[in-house]
A and B are shown apart, each in its own frame.
Chain A
Amino acid sequence: MKRIITTGILGVVLTAIIYLMAVLVINRTYLSGKRAACWINSQYQRTGGQEYRICKDWKGSSDNDLLVIGSSHAYRGYDPRIFQRNGIDMYSAGSGFQNTLASFVLLENIFIPKKNDIVIIDLFDQTFEGDGVGSYARLIQNVTSYTAATELARRQPDIRTFNSLMCRIFSDQSRIEVPDEPGYLYNGYCPKNDTAVISSSEIRKIPSFNMSFVKYLKETIRLIKSQNAHPIAVSHPQPKTLTNETFHKEFLELVMPVLQEEGILYLDYNSNHNLNNSEHFADSNHLNQAGVELFNSKLISDMKEHGIIQ
């Protein structure tokens, strides 16, 4: 037994040394301007892009601001200029396919809301599926706080998030490998001006929701409340021909009990809108600027109607 334990410990130590050396090599070697690690697989993400930009531009909030958190809907669908015109300082802390677990960690460690801030939790049904590891990998590599990166890896204990964290530690954080999203403006907002040809025959698959994201929705709401800020939930418009009613209906069955239990306002624009597929959408998921103008005006008006803003 003693020999098994001794050899086992030696094996673990050797494995750790080789692993760390390899992590160092693949994160300090660049091929075509990209870290060697990033050529290997998607758990190793490059520095830069939207995740990097939203953290870099965040200067903290002042009272009565509006913070939007969520997936790409959050950074493509809420225009700070429109909110500014209505006297609201808005910041989008959205990142690609960001789910509620990631939102929770970001709100806890980076985008900490202040008293009386309004926090819009953008609920995109598709982010409640899967394991979210791709999104975590990008965030772990790019968030400005080591605590947030470690928290993401800790709350989703997976060999891939562990690897992402190790890569962040061993990579040169000052070397930006990915530029900002094309058209990036400020305060996290990144509009799209394209128009899309959206196939009406496209059908979404049957949902397979990850229940831990529902749990984190509740945690996120409670975290915002604990900061004396005001959470509201919003579902961004989706092209109507693509909106699979069953999918969104099942999603609502999943989240409504949480939203009702927590007593927060939910504005669902998923298919409840008059936007036109070919004029107001940039692709099958995102609004273009014309769509954003209409959606944001409607949202602001509805928020006023519900007494959320003056």
Chain B
Amino acid sequence: MLIASCVFYMFFIPYYILILFITILIDYIAGIWIARTEGRKRKIYLWISIVSTCLVLFVFKYYNFFIDNYNDLMKLTGWNYSLSALAFILPIGLSFHTFQSLSYVVEVYRGNQKAEHHFGIYALYVMFYPQLVAGPIERPQNILHQFYEKHSLKYEDVSAGIKLMIWGLFKKVVIADNIASLVDIVYDSPENVSWYWLLLASYLFAIQIYCDFSGYSDMAIGAARVMGFRLMENFNTPYMANSIREFWNRWHISLSTWFRDYVYIPLGGNRVSKWKVNRNLFFVFAVSGFWHGADWTYVIWGALHGLYLVIENVLRKFKWFVDYLLSKRFIVRAVRTTLLFQLVVVGWIFFRADTLLDAQIILSRIFSLGGSDLSMPTDFAMMGSFGLAFKFMLVLLFLSLDPFLHRLTRNIYDSKTTTFIRLLVYSFLAAMIILIGFWGDIEFIYFQF
């Protein structure tokens, strides 16, 4: 399986595997030394491991960001001391396997995980190909022991895995990729588009990124499950959440719990003063934004979610707000879900916009209802009314089916449905994947991170 993972990784840029090998080797040795030693030395080994792992991440992902900002600052101040950027291509899945490596050394340091002495098993933990490129970011306690277990093809595993893979692929090629072109047209030149198309494209992007990323996660979890491995859940119908806090318990779960366990709790968690709790929350989310991409748009996206959480925490002091969050009345639930979705969409505008200036144009145009005199983008007109209607219908169909299919793929309805009915549903999804899936050249959005 390790060989398969290496081959998979080398499909992208073959020689980058050497960099991965070095970081794996450092963390593998560090893990053993941390477990063997006591006192201050353990901490030193931990920091050696963390710094070396983060250094690779910094060089490939963040160096150019700092250089660009430094150069801009120099330009502003009129000093001519510019530095040149590096011309590296980001190794695929770098942010994901870096975090997975970090969680290993930290867990060994904390004593929650024994150091792995088998180099091949540890390398497989970092490189396990279903989740190497875009997660879920696994914890050693969940996955390492599974590599020692004997796995044979079991009907339950194969069936559960294939169901997840079909649903994931459906979300990716039928929903996300079919609406990607609409979003791209608008976001490529937002200054030429009226507020209602900008708003629509922003809503569509919210659906696109969810289907794209959760689709990948489902396929990764499904592919591992077919082989008998169980990976952690990464999404749980996030747009059905009651609050921002709950949203983050349902969206990219492996990342949000990573930040909770390895950044938020070490900063004091909920045990510090309320002011510090809120400050830490804001900080953690801004850093989480920066993890996504080396650009201010991602930092602001993360910080915005941090701000939402701080406001939510403050409002939780009021009984009416708690009642609102807990209410089971249909109308309140509908208002809650709708409002939450709007807040999340505002965040996605920063996430998707190419530059901060673009995000500013989009937001100002939407909120001022500007550009109404601009005509429909040419590409939209070329799709025709039925072409556009088809894409919107797909989105509506998906939104209404997602909660049901999420549970179905997790075998929750197995006792209420027959095997044939379930087979019929998955056969329908598979037929739609072939027939109406978009089979052009569109990568997963999270591959860039």
Contact = CB atoms under 8 A, between A and B. Distances in A.
Given A4-B153, A11-B423, A41 B178 contact: yes
Given A1-B153, A18-B427, A160-B439, A39 B432 contact: no
Interface string A8-41: 0011001111110011001000011010100111
B138 to A, nearest CB: 26
A159 B434 contact: yes
B427 A40 contact: no
A277 B327 CA distance: 70
A11 B428 CA distance: 10
A19 B427 CA distance: 9
B155 A159 contact: no
Interface string B366-397: 00000000000000000011110010000000
A163 B153 CA distance: 33
A15 B431 contact: yes
A61 B440 CA distance: 38
B229 to A, nearest CB: 17
Interface string A163-196: 1000000000000000000000000000000000
B437 interface: yes
Contact of A18 (B153, B385, B428, B436): B428
B435 interface: yes
A63 interface: no
A158 interface: yes
A85 interface: no
A7 interface: yes
Contact of B155 (A4, A11, A32, A40): A4
Given A39-B387, A43-B439, A160-B439, A22 B431 contact: yes
Most central of A32, A34, A40 by chain B CB within 10 Å: A40
A3 interface: yes
B153 A22 contact: no
Contact of B430 (A7, A15, A26): A15
Nearest to A167: B435
A40 B384 contact: no
Contacts of B435: 19, 22-23, 26, 163
29 contacts: A1-B153, A3-B155, A4-B155, A7-B419, A10-B423, A11-B423, A11-B426, A11-B430, A14-B427, A15-B430, A18-B428, A18-B431, A19-B431, A19-B434, A22-B435, A26-B435, A32-B384, A34-B384, A34-B386, A36-B386, A39-B387, A39-B390, A40-B387, A40-B436, A41-B178, A43-B439, A159-B437, A163-B434, A163-B435
Interface of A: 1, 3-4, 7, 10-11, 14-19, 22-23, 26, 31-32, 34, 36, 39-41, 43, 158-160, 163
Given A11-B426, A34-B384, A163-B435, 11 more contacts: A7-B423, A11-B427, A14-B423, A22-B431, A22-B435, A26-B435, A39-B390, A40-B390, A159-B437, A159-B439, A160-B439
The 5 closest A-B pairs by CB, nearest first: A14-B427, A18-B431, A19-B431, A39-B386, A15-B427
